[in-house]
Structure 1
Amino acid sequence: MNTFLVILLVAAMAMVLFSLIRGVVAFLQSTKVDLQTGEQVDATEMQLKQNRAMMARVKWQAVAIVIIAILLGVAT
């Protein structure tokens, strides 16, 4: 049981890292576009992509925290 939960935890942490990298890349691309074109009145596609990636990061962090709580509950 513990081994399975640890594998799930590692997978969730990998997804956190993946989502974080995608969000940062989208942020950098969005900032570059904003600097080249001037001010933006509404959200661009890259900004929406950044927002989705960061929300995914928060979701995967929550999953990792729940897995850690389960591991701590099983360990005691």
Structure 2
Amino acid sequence: MPSDPIFIIGILACFLVLIILMIGIGSFAKGGDFNRKHSNRLMRYRIIAQAGAVIIIVGYAYYRSRGGN
């Protein structure tokens, strides 16, 4: 399973969501000019990345349930 390319892409997508979330939370906690300019954009990027990660994970689970190796 860990050598499956779709599984690896799913893990990377989850890490991308985590990175975007941490940058957004960090900028929110710090405040300032960067937060005012980019907070909404970062959260939009997070939602898009999270939707992509969920689609990849669900697609992988469906593929594996149908007997895909």
TM-score between both structures, scaled by the size of structure 2:
0.77
**For structure 1, which runs of at least 5 residues remain unmatched after alignment?**
34-43
* % identical aligned pairs: 25
Number of residue-to-residue matches in the alignment: 63
CA distance in 2, matches of 1:61, 1:67: 10
Q: What is the RMSD of the two structures over their aligned residues, measured on CA atoms?
A: 1.7
TM-score (norm 1): 0.71
Runs (4+) of structure 1 exceeding 3 A deviation are: none
Greater RCO, 1 or 2 (C-alpha within 8 Å, sep 6+): 1
Larger Rg: 1
What CA deviation, in whole Å up to 9, does each residue of 1:29-66 have, x standing for no partner? Answer: 22xx4xxxxxxxxxx54223111111111111101110
Tell me which residue corresponds to 2:10: 9
Name structure 2 gaps, 5 residues minimum: none
